[in-house]
Amino acid sequence: ALQTALDIVLLSNNLGDAQRLLTHPAPTPHKHLSDEARAELGIGPGTLRLSVGLEDADDLLEDIAQALKAR
């Protein structure tokens, strides 16, 4: 899975830190919404939210690229 292949990006249910974080908004911060309400907001079952921190952008892009290849 993508989350187990990431080396730099952390998985989190909580955003708002200075670190890079990846979350799946449908079952976490938006779990109280119906499927229809999430769809109206553009949040589908495969939507991921990346919160970029203070890390080097090239390092983050490389980490995501290698994780996608590992899938």
Determine the 3-state secondary structure of 47 from DSSP: coil
The boundaries of the domain holding residue 7 are 2-70
In our burial notation (b when 16+ CB lie closer than 10 A, e otherwise), range 14-41 reads eeeeeebbbbbbbeeebeeeeeeebeee
Residue-by-residue pLDDT tens, the chain, 71 positions: 565 677 777 665 555 667 777 877 777 667 788 889 989 988 888 888 888 878 888 998 999 899 889 87
Determine the 3-state secondary structure of 21 from DSSP: strand
Q: Residue 31: give its domain's CATH number.
A: 3.90.1150.10
User: How many structural domains are present in the chain?
Assistant: 1
